[in-house]
Amino acid sequence: MAVQVAPSETTELFPCFGGNCVVSIQGIGPVGPPAAAAARVRRRLEHWHRQFSRFESDSELTTLNRDPRATVAVSPVMARFVGAALTAAALTGGLVDPTLVDELEAAGYAKSARFRRQPDARPLQEGPARAPAGPDPEARWRQISVDIKGGTVTRPRGVRLDSGGIAKGLFGDILAPVLGLHRAFALAAAGDVRFGGTAGLQRPVEVESPFAAEILHVFELAGGAAATSGISKRSWIDEFCRPAHHLLDPATGRPAYTGVVQATALAPTGLEAEALSKAALLSGAQCARSWLRHGGLIVYDDGSFDVVSPAESQE
């Protein structure tokens, strides 16, 4: 990923959330000058990465998932994450389900790894017949509750949570009110982008192709969020020699092959963008467009793609 640096913009690039994060800031804000603010954002994101990693044995998320008690005291940001995960599940009718940790591990996603990027669309053709995903009939996420003020999470024993992309969207939303007091900012957290600023500058938001290092489309936006979900990057061959990836169909617990390889959603918040992009991918080629109410882009597994412009989505 090449980082383009804007005039008078301070940019910090660092590895985080299993990918790369880029913080770009213009102008002084409440945290200080751009370089100081970017450094502080970096420290905050790295802290959250350690706190929310499913792959770290001493992270707060792992500790919560391991805790045998039904109700567990959690940190304020963990409480917010659980609330955000339940919001995403409700918003998408259970398509975005945060309780699929057992299924993810069964599919072979048990540890953090650098995944080999698929060079083209051909490996996807080895996947099963295309079908839209659906919600889990059990809807375990409905049995989870969170008391954000009291700082507790209550869930049935054995139900574990995955931070996934929802956490990245939430982190952008938590930081945006402060970063938004700078002249301009953009926070790209491993593919999820949150941007804005007091100057209202139009920022080009590029959508990367799932098949090659090229840009499929550029949106010009002054503020908000963009998230991209896809099945071609974190993909692997499982122990039964089947192609697999990390976006599961909640109804079957297996990797979803819906005919959509990648979906990008624009939205006012990072949480909504993340939920809508996943829902668009999981709902399949016929329904994906209906989820992109603020605009976005859909890439199908034959390599073609559709752009849903923000104006078009509001008609």
Partner 1 sequence: MSYDHPNFESRSRPSGGHVPDSGELVAERLRARGQRVMLIRRRVAATGASIFALAWGVIFVQLVSGHDPALAHGKNRASSSSDSTGSGSTTSQASSPASAAPSTTSQS
Stretch that binds partner 1, among 134-142, 155-163, 195-203, 302-310 (CB under 8 A): 195-203
Is 96:263 a contact under the CB 8 Å cutoff? no
Phi-psi region of 140 (alpha: psi -120 to 50; beta: other; left: phi over 0): alpha
Closest to partner 1 by CB, 11 or 152: 11
Is 108:254 a contact under the CB 8 Å cutoff? no
For 52, phi and psi rounded to 5 degrees?
Answer: -110, 5
- In the chain, the amino acid numbered 272 is E
Contacting residue, 36, 131, 190, 307, with partner 1 by CB under 8 A: 190
Is 54:101 a contact under the CB 8 Å cutoff? yes
Report the C-alpha dihedral over residues 242, 128, 85, 37, rounded to 10 degrees.
Answer: 70
DSSP reduced 3-state for 21: strand
| Structure letter (DSSP) for residue 29 | B
202 in contact with partner 1 (CB under 8 A): yes
Contacting residue, 10, 92, 163, 283, with partner 1 by CB under 8 A: 10
- Restricted to residues 110-149, the positions that interact with partner 1 (CB under 8 A) are none
Contacting residue, 184, 251, 256, 276, with partner 1 by CB under 8 A: 184
CB of 152 to partner 1, least distance (A): 30
254 in contact with partner 1 (CB under 8 A): no
12 in contact with partner 1 (CB under 8 A): yes
Is 296:308 a contact under the CB 8 Å cutoff? yes
Closest to partner 1 by CB, 22 or 161: 22
18 in contact with partner 1 (CB under 8 A): yes
- The CA distance from 284 to 280, in Å, is 7
Stretch that binds partner 1, among 10-18, 53-61, 89-97, 145-153 (CB under 8 A): 10-18
Is 277:296 a contact under the CB 8 Å cutoff? yes
Closest to partner 1 by CB, 159 or 181: 181
258 in contact with partner 1 (CB under 8 A): no
Stretch that binds partner 1, among 64-72, 82-90, 225-233, 287-295 (CB under 8 A): 225-233
CB of 228 to partner 1, least distance (A): 5
Candidates 59, 67, 50; CA nearest to 152 is: 67
- The CA distance from 249 to 233, in Å, is 17
Which positions touch partner 1 (CB under 8 A)? 1-15, 17-20, 22, 24, 26-28, 33-35, 38-39, 165, 168, 183-184, 186, 188, 190-193, 195, 197, 199, 201-208, 210, 215, 218, 226-230, 232-234, 262, 264
